[in-house]
Amino acid sequence: MKTVHSPHHVLQNAEAEFIRGRKVPSFEMPRRAELVLERVNAVSLGPVIEPKSFGTDPILKVHDRDFVTFLATAWETWSTENGPIDAFPNAWPPPRSSRVRTNRPGAELGRYCIDLSSPIMAGTWTAATAGADTALTAMEIAAGADKCAFALCRPPGHHAGRDYFGGYCFLNNAAIAAQAWLDRGLDKVAVLDVDYHHGNGTQDIFHDRADVLTVSIHADPQHEYPYYSGYADETGEGEGAGFNLNIPLAWGSDYATYAPALAEALARIAGFGAEALVVSLGVDTFGGDPISRFRLVNADFTTMGRTIASLGIPTLFVMEGGYAVEDIGVNAVNVLTGFEA
Ligand code: SP5
Ligand code: ZN
């Protein structure tokens, strides 16, 4: 399997995030992608190539134009006033308030940013667009003779919605690739999100659409980020009614619990008649993950990959979360080698 990867990911290098009131070193860091790349090479998964540049058109097919303009310009606006300090919001629009544009950089961040984990810095836009290009380049490979590809994206993407960012995510790489796959002529694409956290951004983007089935297996949002979505009763709306499936699982879930959830997810995708699959590949379901509470072991990821392959459709893997840095490479690549076995 070919891997697509951009060196620009290092430009997103947050000093800190806020967890339980403490400013702690960011769990999302460049070393994550470096270790996945090392593992890709260690097992000789296949060639590693750099992405092509697709510009903003495919991004604007799933993200709001004002949001994209904001992301592209936020650092310049913020740093002109505040200097080279990672940009965090200082206020959020309360319920029933106007979401009107303001003249204050911290308030503008609050209009678009959902948490205190995802600072914008000088290289955020470059890193985020390189991630989108990575997913798009890998999609073209998976859509061709290879039938599969690995987009080693960083920063991740699945928490980024139509017009918001957060959860370490800025642009929704998986959604951008799924949309571009449709635009190449497919009628039905499915996104399977196996990250520990609900893929709220992907759900948001395809919420009212019947041409993209979104399925996410994740920790119960009563206990875990993103808290306000990911419940089983969110099944889509309008034309998208019935085209979103959330499978929340309890803290402490191991593969004995995970396997039936994955089987249900794959049965739904097969029943939908998906012509292609985008996997949002987070490996923060691993037992050793520092911010998560599932209990998958290294070998379970191989099983997961083999099980996903049973669908028998072209498949694009897009890297999302996973913070046990010494194991993230093994776990992510286990899914890919399991898929190819
Ligand atoms: C892409 C992705 O996996 N994003 C995850 C963002 C999670 N951010 C909130 C983390 C909250 C952690 N709370 C538990 C801390 C245990 N020490
Ligand atoms: Zn996650």
For the segment 51-76, what is each residue's pLDDT rounded down to a tens digit? 999 999 999 999 999 999 999 999 99
232 C-beta closer than 6 A to ligand 1: no
Give the whole-angstrom CA distance, residue 40 versus residue 295.
23
Ligand 1 neighbourhood includes 224 CB (under 6 angstroms): no
Find out whether the beta carbon of 195 lies less than 6 Å from any atom of ligand 1.
yes
In this predicted model, what pLDDT tens digit does every residue of 36-55 receive, in sequence order? Answer: 999 999 999 999 999 999 99
Query: Is 245 a domain residue?
Result: yes
Number of structural domains (the chain) is 1
Alpha carbons 14 and 205: distance in angstroms, whole number = 26
Mean pLDDT of the chain: 98
Beta bridge partners of 208: none
Q: Looking at the domain assignment, is residue 218 inside a domain?
A: yes
pLDDT of residue 90: 95
Residue 271 lies in a domain: yes
Q: Is residue 7 domain-resident?
A: yes
**Domain assignment of residue 90, yes or no:** no
Judge whether 54 lies within some domain. yes
Say if 178 falls within a structural domain.
yes
Catalytic residue among 5, 9, 159, 198: 159
CATH code of the domain in which 12 resides? 3.40.800.20
pLDDT given at position 52: 98
Inter-residue contact 204 to 172 (CB < 8 Å): no
Reduced to 3 DSSP states, what percent helix, strand and coil does the chain have, rounded to the nearest 5? 40, 15, 45
What band does 245 get if pLDDT is binned at 50, 70 and 90? very high
Q: Atom 16 in ligand 1: which residue has the minimum CA distance? A: 291
Mean pLDDT score, 325-330: 95
Q: Is 95 part of a structural domain of the chain?
A: no
What number is the ipTM of this complex?
A: 0.96
The reply to whether 218 belongs to the active site is no
Note the pLDDT of residue 132: 99
169, amino acid identity: C
> Which residues neighbour 315 within 8 Å (Cβ) at sequence distance 6 or greater?
142, 147, 148, 276, 277, 278, 279, 308, 309, 339
Which tens digits make up the pLDDT trace of 202-228?
999 999 999 999 999 999 999 999 999
Closest CA to 41 of 29, 52, 49, 30: 49
With a 6 Å cutoff on the Cβ, whether 197 touches ligand 1 is: yes
pLDDT tens sequence across 115-129: 999 999 999 999 999
Task: Burial-class residue 288 by CB neighbours within 10 Å (0-12, 13-18, 19+).
Answer: middle
Distances (CA, A) of 106 to 11, 64, 77, 202, 226: 21, 20, 10, 26, 22
User: How many angstroms does the Cα of residue 159 sit away from the middle of ligand 1?
Assistant: 11
**What is the extent of the structural domain holding 195?**
3-63+123-340
- Ligand nearest, relative to CA of residue 17: 1
Residue 15: which region, alpha, beta or left (left: phi > 0; alpha: psi -120 to 50)? alpha
pLDDT at 304: 99
From the list 81, 92, 82, 145, the residue with the least C-alpha distance to 116 is 92
Least Cα distance to 321 among 93, 102, 118, 50 occurs for 118
Q: How far apart are CA 14 and CA 167, in angstroms?
A: 12
Protein residues within 5 Å, CB atom, of ion ligand 2: 195-197, 282, 284, 321
- Outline where DSSP puts E strands in 155-211: 189-193
